[in-house]
Amino acid sequence: MSTATNYDAIIIGWGKGGKTLAAFLAGRGESVLMIEQSEGMVGGTCINIGCVPTKALVESAHRSADSSAPAPVRYLDAIERKNALTSLLRGKNFSMVDSHDTATVLMGRARFVGPHEIEVSAGAEIVRVTSERIIINTGAVPMIPPIPGLDGPRVVSSTKLIDETDLPGRLVVIGAGAIGLELAATYREFGSEVTVVDSVDRLLPQEDDDVAAAVREVLEEEGLTFMLGATVERVEESADAALVRLEGGDTLTADRVLVAVGRRPATDDLGLEAAGIALGDNGAVRVDEHLRTSVDGVWAVGDVNGGPQFTYVSFDDHRIVKDQLVGDGARTTSDRVAVPTTTFITPPLARVGMTEREAREAGRDVKVARKAIDAIAAMPRARIVGDTRGLIKVVVDASSDLVLGAALFCVDSQEIVNLVALAMRAGVTASELRDGIWTHPSSTEALNEVLATL
């Protein structure tokens, strides 16, 4: 065991918030230690097993749809393209930190042995390091529900599925959330027979009925099968398939079973109890609005703190911590307003703010602008790219004309939603969006016509 070495800052985990803080502090000449347990996770979840590789597969699935190559060949090509991309980004992310003279990278498993002391197991070597400023950035791991048989050889997480080089002929997806839907739609596009099972009785229950119905219609037209309001009792293995047994007697046969019921904060075996760092009920590191843990000088950023599991939220986490390190410390999580989300099915479903149901339940007097994409004359972009499916729905406060929320299920919605979110944060009215001058032909100009229906 080596003698403890002290650093100006220690970051545990290479996710978005942590790596950005590490690069910033090292760029100021501070001694920074970045600890990452897996070389395959340099750069964090997003570029290695999350946003980037899954969206690369989505893109490849649609690019290859017109190819005459057999489905397994198209799929293997997509996996190789995805692997090349993640490898490229992993290298760039390594350099982002390691290129600084005052930054040190240590590959190994970190455990707290005191409030400001960490033990790192790197192979047979154990290193002890200390710092008065430590940032926990260990991310999240897939949740595995207590269903018998989920340890079988044909049961996979999203991480494992997108690394397999053989296209499953039959895929059963347990979970109809964002990850489940994105991968279900992608593998169907590659040619798999896909069935999505979820205990909820309606797809996307957090969305308004009309939006959820539009999404389901498109996905079913693509060939997805949904079994909603269904509970998985167990998964069994036969000689050549997995058998997914449902309550009520139905059985689904699959080459692969994807468990996509969410992710939980990765706090196992971090030694947090030795440091006196408190956890919340969901296993997340408990933080306040400044992302401070129960121990002075220790922060938690990204998925591990139990906040929204988005890379861009982790990036905003780094701003909050940075403001305490070099600013006036005023920035908090409560400053976040109108944070958008996108589920990358095709077309993508983006949303920000309140649904119509939420607004009415909150007692708001609202106006609703809603139009199907194929009925919007002033949106030739959808016809140019050959996808006029979906709808745009905007919820507006009737008295102030301010946008309360929007659901955008259309081509380019992942971009339009950022404009709507900015308008909400800046107090831009629906009428100003309606009368905005937007480029042509673009998807944004649909707002001219949709908001004119108010």
Long-range contacts of 253-256 (CB under 8 A, 24+ apart): 253/170, 254/154, 254/168, 254/170, 254/171, 254/172, 254/195, 255/154, 255/168, 255/169, 255/170, 255/171, 256/154, 256/155, 256/156, 256/161, 256/164, 256/168, 256/170, 256/171, 256/172
182 among the known binding-site residues?
A: yes
- pLDDT number for residue 124: 83
179 among the known binding-site residues?
A: yes
92 among the known binding-site residues?
A: no
Q: CA 258 to CA 231: how far, in whole Å? A: 15
CATH assignment of 155-261? Answer: 3.50.50.60
Backbone angles phi, psi at 162, to 5 degrees: -75, 0
Distance from the Cα of residue 223 to its chain's centroid: 24
Q: CA 321 to CA 327: how far, in whole Å? A: 9
- pLDDT number for residue 67: 75
140 among the known binding-site residues?
A: no
In CATH, which superfamily holds the domain spanning 5-142+264-335?
FAD/NAD(P)-binding domain (3.50.50.60)
- pLDDT number for residue 4: 61
Using DSSP's 3-state secondary structure scheme, residue 193 falls into: strand
pTM for the full predicted model = 0.93
384 among the known binding-site residues?
A: no
As a 3-state breakdown, the chain gives helix, strand, coil percent values, each rounded to 5, of: 35, 25, 40
Q: Are 387 and 346 in contact (CB under 8 A)?
A: yes
180 among the known binding-site residues?
A: yes
Q: Give the type of residue at 407.
A: A
Q: Which residue is associated with the tokens 């909603």?
A: 228
Which residue among 62, 100, 290, 440 is the active-site one?
440
349 among the known binding-site residues?
A: no
- pLDDT number for residue 1: 35
Cis before 265? omega within 30: no
Mean pLDDT by groups of 10 residues along the chain of 454 residues: 77 96 96 95 91 92 79 94 95 94 95 97 90 97 95 96 96 96 96 97 96 98 97 96 96 98 95 96 94 98 95 96 96 96 96 98 98 96 96 98 98 98 98 97 97 97
- pLDDT number for residue 66: 67
Q: CA 209 to CA 206: how far, in whole Å? A: 9
181 among the known binding-site residues?
A: yes
Specify whether 440 is catalytic.
Answer: yes
Q: CA 58 to CA 414: how far, in whole Å? A: 14
Q: CA 442 to CA 438: how far, in whole Å? A: 8
Sequence length of the chain is: 454
178 among the known binding-site residues?
A: yes
- pLDDT number for residue 2: 44
CA 192 vs CA 57, 75, 163, 265: distances in Å: 14, 10, 16, 31
Instruction: Tell me where in the chain the CATH 3.50.50.60 domain(s) lie.
Output: 5-142+264-335, 155-261
Q: Give the type of residue at 157.
A: S
CATH class, 341-453 region: alpha beta
